[in-house]
Amino acid sequence: MSRPDWDVYFMEIARTVATRATCPRASVGAVIVRDHRLLTTGYNGAPRGTGHCSDVGCMMVAAHCARAVHAEANAIVQGALHGVSLDGATAYCTHQPCAGCSKLLISAGVRKIVFEIAYPDEIATALLSEAGVALMQFSPGHDMHE
């Protein structure tokens, strides 16, 4: 049995985290790591104390679910709730972060984002570039240098 490299390992964890998603529109997972240590996880779902889309339905506004909190935002909130700094960390995301989540990741101090499924957002890409945050599409067998 061969051990997976760090990028494969953390992306597989992000995929597993995505299985907890409660919005039927997409199952998205995110894990934030530093120094090969898992700091936080997040998946898309309703805010704490509110009904899940899977139970009460989505709240659709302009073709987006307004009920669901994005996976990356939930991972950042988990860090805030538990006093875990994300400064200098890497985010592994099943999907490329949107502009809103990209702004949150930048502000939280995340320095690199590795994503699997492209969700092109010109604003997100421009902001990440301006902030010096590396954005890389996951490619098994290619070291993303976590």
Rounded Cα distance between 119 and 122, Å, is: 10
Q: 10 Å Cβ neighbour count for 44?
A: 27
- Is residue 72 among the annotated active site residues? yes
DSSP 3-state assignment of 127? helix
**Is the Cβ–Cβ distance between 87 and 107 less than 8 Å?**
no
**Is the Cβ–Cβ distance between 75 and 43 less than 8 Å?**
no
From the list 12, 72, 116, 146, the catalytic residue is 72
Catalytic residues: 72
